[in-house]
């Protein structure tokens, strides 16, 4: 984890320098920075290679067991892209993200077996450096790398007659590294259509969780703890609003000096 943080710090220092250089170049070349705005929808996909494996809350002494499985989720938000040069772009925005988990709680002593869903809500403000290459007349492939500021507004608690599950945020603010790749179909009249994928990796665990179980709803409580790192992989769809023609709607003031 320390090596990842050092690598990420070096990467973003380099990214900042490149972005600063691109802005200076754009200003010196007297080119206006083009802005494109749009919306994004995300389907968070539970792929074990990219996301967490099931968490096992096991108490073998008391025959109590719970398994937390990541079930994906959804996300949506607004995205803004700044074209700094013909090669270099900057992207940012704000997103709502909802991760879904399922807790399978079992106690063979009393034949207890129940599945309990839990949802974690967060907000993200990413900043990414993006480059693209033209694959055809209207088709572009782009790759982006950057960082995200992740915010968690509240803790999550679920109460059942025999089980309670608590998820406590480690911090209301977390940093994450992210990258995405995708294909974009661009039209002047109808806008840009994007289909791609994102990998989102927080620098540290986002939640501490605890499962409490009460056998037959009474007596001693058995509990186990675990951490959730919040990593996810998503399939993304974006739509960017078409640019207005700068020449449309322009008019020139009459030259009153030569009017009779």
pLDDT digits (tens, 9 = 90+) for 103-148: 999 888 888 888 999 999 999 999 999 998 889 889 999 999 999 9
The whole-number pLDDT of residue 49 equals 73
Report how far residue 187's alpha carbon sits from residue 196's, in angstroms, rounded to the nearest whole number: 18
- The set of residues, in sequence order, having a beta carbon less than 8 Å from that of 152 and lying 6+ positions away, is 120, 121, 122, 123, 169, 171, 172, 173, 174, 206, 207
CA angle 105, 107, 113 (to 5 degrees): 50
Q: What is the pLDDT of residue 2?
A: 45
178 within 8 A of 224, measured Cβ to Cβ = no
Tell me the pLDDT tens digit for each residue of 178-229.
999 999 999 988 999 999 999 999 998 898 998 888 887 766 677 888 888 8
pLDDT value for 252: 43
Distance of alpha carbon 197 from alpha carbon 236, whole angstroms: 5
Q: Which among 209, 219, 206, 211 has a CA at the least distance from the CA of 115?
A: 211
Q: Which pLDDT belongs to residue 142?
A: 93
Is residue 27 scored above 70 in pLDDT? no
Strands, sheet with 163-169, edge to edge from the N-terminal-most edge strand? 156-159, 163-169, 207-214, 221-228
Q: What is the pLDDT of residue 245?
A: 58
For the cut 50, the answer to whether the pLDDT of residue 251 exceeds it is no
pLDDT at 243: 73
| Residues 81-93 pLDDT 10s | 998 877 789 999 9
> Domains along the chain?
33-244 (2.40.160.20)
């Amino acid at each position: 984890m320390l090596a990842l943080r050092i690598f990420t710090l070096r990467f973003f220092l380099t990214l900042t320098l490149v972005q600063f250089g691109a802005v200076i170049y754009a200003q010196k070349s007297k080119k206006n920075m083009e802005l494109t705005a749009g919306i994004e929808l995300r389907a968070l996909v539970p792929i074990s290679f990219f996301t967490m494996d099931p968490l096992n809350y096991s108490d073998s002494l008391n025959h109590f067991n719970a398994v937390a499985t990541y079930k994906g989720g959804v996300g949506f938000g607004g995205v803004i892209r700044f074209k700094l040069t013909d090669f270099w772009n900057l992207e940012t925005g704000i997103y709502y993200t909802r991760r879904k988990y399922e807790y399978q709680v079992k106690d063979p002593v009393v034949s207890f077996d129940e599945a309990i869903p839990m949802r974690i809500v967060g907000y993200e403000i990413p900043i990414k450096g993006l480059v693209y290459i033209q694959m055809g007349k209207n088709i572009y492939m782009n790759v982006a790398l950057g960082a995200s500021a992740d915010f968690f507004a509240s803790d999550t608690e679920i109460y059942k007659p025999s089980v309670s599950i608590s998820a406590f945020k480690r911090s209301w603010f977390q940093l994450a590294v992210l990258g995405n790749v995708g294909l974009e179909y661009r039209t002047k009249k109808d806008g840009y259509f994007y289909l791609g994928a994102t990998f989102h990796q927080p620098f540290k665990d986002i939640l501490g969780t605890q499962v409490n179980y009460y056998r037959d709803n009474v007596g001693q409580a058995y509990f186990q703890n675990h951490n959730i790192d919040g990593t996810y992989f998503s399939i993304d769809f974006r739509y960017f609003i078409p640019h207005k023609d700068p020449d449309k709607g322009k008019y020139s003031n009459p030259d009153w000096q030569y009017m009779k």
